[in-house]
Structure 1
């Protein structure tokens, strides 16, 4: 029997400073209310979140044989993922994310290291094809993988898989790298509003969703933080206002949304239900520090969707 989901991408530790009122200015020192180290990397967080929701998930990634790489492997093993596709490479240093978390958003400083270093030749296609769905995150950070994503998606779809992409932010703000070819092979595209409006050249998330839906093979869902999300498919526009929850740290909220949306999608649910489940998982994620501590169970997310309360 096929597993539900395979995620290809990066895994790294996140060093999270939360409870900041503002970002530091050069030459000054500020205090944070909390600090922690947790599993990070958008791809890893999507995989972990989907497993938490009950999906069977395989994860393909590359880490170094160093302190941070060992931390990542230990944390991934706790998530119930199949790690047959994990590569430990002594020649690379494991990437790291430094997260500066404010009440409503966060800024990220990234050391790429292994994050950009997963070449397509390390990916076992037979392993990929043993799943129902293929997801790729952090498109703009994965320098070695990026040129192969369009062909990888095309081959996956030929093998009967559905596909999804979350580009993440482009540090160069060029928003290209062959993205349109990838979108043509993507059944789902899951950007946030900054990414969506930049890629589409749109003035607002709804316009971006409509424009991007004309580029993808299926559905676009645009994440809008505390304002919920909007999705476009087959000429339809669907909105969800999100859920009110106490905010501790927004790290990984978008990845939790992806996991929730994918879980509902793979259960064959309608677009409205997929959007609601994504918003619920994203909301629950922000109630604790780090991207993984408050990832939702299916029971928790379903209850929030049904009642509107945590």
Structure 2
């Protein structure tokens, strides 16, 4: 496999993470917890996860001119990630993440901007961005797709909880859309992900609905169709894993997906590699800090511990065998 070139765009944060809280913080209380970490977050979760899987990564983001900005720049530089086209802002955005009850709460301050791609930036093999970013860069995205770039979009959470379906119109500029289960159901007003996925296929050729501990649903337009009819579904069970911290799980999934596609895998096979990458991440604290390398995933595959959570699984590839096939000869 050649080192596929990936451009990922989005806001950058310095993440300060605490995990193991007994309960939500209350005024006046100090909790001593199991541990924590400080790392680059936001778009760095995706960029680092891609770089550790052997992909050539350029990130489009904004770095603070303060000490925190210098720190996250240094952290990304250590991962051999390039910053061509990135800009600077006065202060680095910072997020404090606290994990408890199987989820996270965030406190954030700073600038969440991300620059547009420079006009002379060559088309990458893969472009990764959130749904809201696509309209801002639509001319470049269209040009890149015509040149052969695979565009993958995710991150369409609506903090207002209005779930306006029109906000999903930008996915028409993508090749693959990666919503989670809640996003799929809320935006489509459907009662199951199969129906929701079919609705999204009216706009985008393929999508993967991530279902957390229930696995993933891969949906593709049927052969010879262009209007989302006759969808083809592949249900994938969950990888056996015990989640410690879900920070960066979606970003690791996308990184594994891209790595699989770059190795010539089908969309469903690449989604399995995405699941494996995400499962590794959630078993460890921290987003970008927990992203696995190819060697680590190969070691997991060879350990005998990488398996589906369900015991009676048919018609889907063995995850350990798939990891060895996609990564062993190319790492």
Tell me the TM-score normalized by structure 1. 0.86
What is the root-mean-square deviation of aligned Cα atoms in Å? 2.5
Q: How many Å apart are 1:307 and its aligned residue?
A: 6.2
Say whether 1:44 aligns with 2:44. yes
Q: Which residue number in structure 2 is paired with residue 236 of structure 1? A: 232
What's the counterpart of residue 226 of structure 2? none
Cα pair 2:3 2:54 within 8 Å, conserved: no
Task: Supply the distance in 2 between the matched residues of 1:48 and 1:220 (Cα, whole angstroms).
Answer: 23
Q: Which residue of 2 aligns with 1:86?
A: 86
The answer as to whether partners of 1:190 and 1:222 remain within 8 angstroms in 2 is yes
Task: Return closer, same or farther for 1:220/1:146 CA change in 2, 3 Å cut-off.
Answer: closer
Match of 2:143 in 1: 155
Q: Shift of the alpha carbon at 1:85?
A: 2.4
Given that 2:44 and 2:288 are in contact with CA atoms closer than 8 Å, whether structure 1 keeps it comes out as: no
Residue aligning to 2:320: 306
Distance in 2, Cα, partners of 1:244 & 1:93: 40
Check conservation: 2:273, 2:322, Cα contact below 8 A.
no
Larger Rg belongs to: 2
1:210 aligns with 2:198: yes
1:230 is displaced (CA, Å) by 1.1
**SS, match of residue 257 in structure 1:** helix
Match of 1:135 in 2: 128
Runs of at least 4 residues off by over 6 Å: none
Specify the SS of the correspondent of 2:161.
coil
Answering whether residue 172 of structure 2 is matched by residue 184 of structure 1, we say yes
Larger mean CA deviation between 192-201 and 176-185 belongs to: 176-185
Q: Which runs of 5+ in 2 are unaligned?
A: 222-230, 307-318, 324-331
Is the 2:36–2:286 contact (alpha carbons within 8 Å) kept by the matching residues of 1? no
Counterpart contact for 2:87–2:115, Cα < 8 Å: no
Hey, what's the Cα distance between the residues in 2 that align with 1:168 and 1:110?
18
Given that 1:166 and 1:189 are in contact with CA atoms closer than 8 Å, whether structure 2 keeps it comes out as yes
User: Partner of 2:227 in structure 1?
Assistant: none
Q: Distance in 2 between matches of 1:52 and 1:38?
A: 15
In 2 relative to 1, CA 2–126 (structure 1 residues): closer, same or farther, beyond 3 Å?
farther
Aligned to 1:287: 283
Partners of 2:164 and 2:68 in 1: how far apart? 30
Q: CA deviation at 1:28?
A: 4.8
Note closer, same or farther for the CA distance 1:177–1:33 as it changes in structure 2 (3 Å cut): same
Gaps of 5+ in 1: none
How far is the alpha carbon of 1:278 from its aligned partner?
0.8
Q: How many residue pairs are counted as aligned between the two chains? A: 295
Q: Which runs of structure 2 are paired with 1:47-62 in the superposition (5 Å)?
A: 47-62=47-62
Q: Please state if 1:69 is matched with 2:69.
A: yes
Shift of 1:166: 0.9
CA distance in 2, matches of 1:67, 1:177: 40
